[in-house]
Structure 1
Amino acid sequence: MAAVLFDFSGTLFRVESTESWLRAALDERGATLSGPELAEAARALEAAGALPGGAVPVELPADLAGLWAVRDESAELHRAAYTGLSRRVALPDPGLHDALYERHMSPAAWSPYPDAGTVLRTLRERGVGVGVVSNIGWDLRPVFREHGLDPYVDAYVLSYEHGVQKPDPRLFSVACEALGADPRQVVMVGDSRAADGGAAALGCRVHFVDHLPVAHRPDALLPVLDLVR
């Protein structure tokens, strides 16, 4: 294999818990909730699917369905979709909805999976190209830089920068071209069969991992190294 493409959320990194996310935004705004109130608000936000990279909505509001379907095609759509979901939950300060959105873009909100660094570094040592292909509405490069993984990534292909979202094969094609790799010699690694599976249309091999908490998935990326020997 000449190159490996990785999804971001749920594959290389995992976003913080909804409660941690809410607590950070409350601190930022100088707002407070009691313990039970915070727990209840976090549960409501999680059910709403308001945390990007977290749980999907339990029930998608009809008036947001169209926006949700194309949310990763631009920064504006992404923000509108997720703040629209968070506003379904009553919070003590209206400004918290924008604060929550800003928080999720912070490198502090993300943790790499334990084996991510080892896998990316080993691929670099083997001369294998690495790309990150993500359905996202903001620039995730600072997250990689903050966690020391940016030196191992050769290309970032982000949906909002191209107006195309996975599973559209065009996004994977951009990544393969950026790496100078024949898609038939590329592995796509991701956690979503619906989205990341789109790479198969180009002839890429696709390898899936489970979207689990960081502590519960210590070594799921290591088998990727066997695919590129």
Structure 2
Amino acid sequence: MTAVLFDFSGTLFRVESTDSWLRGALAAADVRLTEAELTAAVLALEAVGALPGGGDPARVPEELADAWPVRDRSAALHRAAYTGLARQVPLPGPALHDALYDRHMTPAAWAPYPDAVEVLRALRERGVPVGVVSNIGWDLRPVFRAHGLDPYIDAYVLSFEHGAQKPDPRLFGIACEALGADPHKTLMVGDDRRADGGATALGCGVYFVDHLPAADRPDGLRPVLDLVG
């Protein structure tokens, strides 16, 4: 393999916990809840899958049935889908549901996996071009810049900017073209076997990591270095 594509959420970065997410949004809005109220709201938000990058909802509400499967094709759909899930949970003020969505787009809401910088730096030292291919509804570049990973990324291919989402092979093709890479010599690294596995349609190799909290996956990316020449 002579080029590598990485997924974002659950692969290079992990979103904060629902507890931290809610506390951050409440603090920014200067809204206070009791610990009991906060705990109940956290559990409810987790149950409906309201945190982007967190767990999937157990059930998608009927009013979101059309938007949910294609939510990553546009910024508007992505926001509508996730704020729609969040609004199933009563909060002290309707603006908080949008504040929660805004919070998850901030660099503070994300942490790189412990070995991400090490692996990306090693790939750069070997002269291996690297791209990020993500199903997402917002610009993640500021997250990479804030955490110091942007210098190691040669191309970003984000679903909402192209109106298509993984596993559509077009996204992987766009990334390979941006890197000047042969798909048959390109490795796609991700945590979603269906979405990221779409790269195989172009002949890319694939390597899957587990979508775990960052502290629970200290070295899941290091095997990538053994697969790349």
Same fold per TM (> 0.5)?
yes
Deviations 1:127-167 (A, max 9, x none): 00100000000000000000000000000000000000000
- Separation (CA, whole Å) in 1 of partners of 2:53 and 2:170: 22
Structure 1: distance between partners of 2:10 and 2:37? 28
Cα separation, 2, equivalents of 1:50 and 1:174: 30
Please give the per-residue CA displacement for 1:87-146, whole angstroms capped at 9, x wherever unaligned: 000001111001000000000000000000000000000000100000000000000000
| Corresponding position: 1:183 with 2:183 | yes
* TM-score, reference length from structure 2: 0.99
Q: Could you say which residue in structure 2 is the equivalent of 1:75?
A: 75
Is the 1:31–1:93 contact (alpha carbons within 8 Å) kept by the matching residues of 2?
Answer: no
Kindly state the Cα deviation for residue 31 of structure 1 after the two structures are TM-superposed: 0.8
- Render the CA deviation track for 1:57-96: whole Å, top value 9, x for unaligned: 0111122111001100000000000000000000011110
Q: Does 1:207 align with 2:215?
A: no
Residue segments in structure 1 that go unaligned for 5+ positions in a row: none
Name the residue aligned to 2:192: 192
The whole-number CA distance in structure 2 between the counterparts of 1:66 and 1:199 is 25
Deviation per CA, 1:146-200: give whole Å up to 9, x if none: 0000000000000000000000000100000000001000000000001000000
Q: 3-state DSSP class of the match of 2:221?
A: coil
For 1:114 and 1:65, locate their aligned partners in 2 and report how far apart those are by CA, in whole Å: 36
Alignment-derived partner of residue 157 in structure 1: 157
Match of 2:97 in 1: 97
Counterpart for residue 172 of structure 1: 172
Structure 2: gaps (5+ residues): none
1:190-222 deviations in Å (ceiling 9; x for gaps): 000010000000000000000000000000000
Give me the whole-angstrom Cα distance separating, in 2, the residues matched to 1:146 and 1:197: 29
Supply the distance in 1 between the matched residues of 2:61 and 2:29 (Cα, whole angstroms): 27
Number of the residue aligned with 2:223: 223
Mapped partners of 2:212, 2:194: distance in 1: 17
Q: Give the counterpart letter for 1:29 in structure 2.
A: A
SS at match of 1:19: helix
Is the counterpart of residue 123 in structure 1 residue 126 in structure 2?
no
- Give the number of equivalent residue pairs: 229
Percent identity reads 73
1:15 matched to which residue of 2? Answer: 15
Match of 2:4 in 1: 4
Letter in 2 for 1:126: R
User: Residue 60 of structure 1 aligns with which residue?
Assistant: 60
Q: TM-score, with normalisation over the residues of structure 1?
A: 0.99
Tell me the SS of whatever aligns to 1:194.
coil
AA aligned to 1:207 is Y
| Letter paired with 2:110 | W
Aligned letter for 1:173?
G
> Distance in 2 between the 1:96 and 1:66 partners?
24
Alpha-carbon separation, structure 2, partners of 1:89 and 1:176: 41
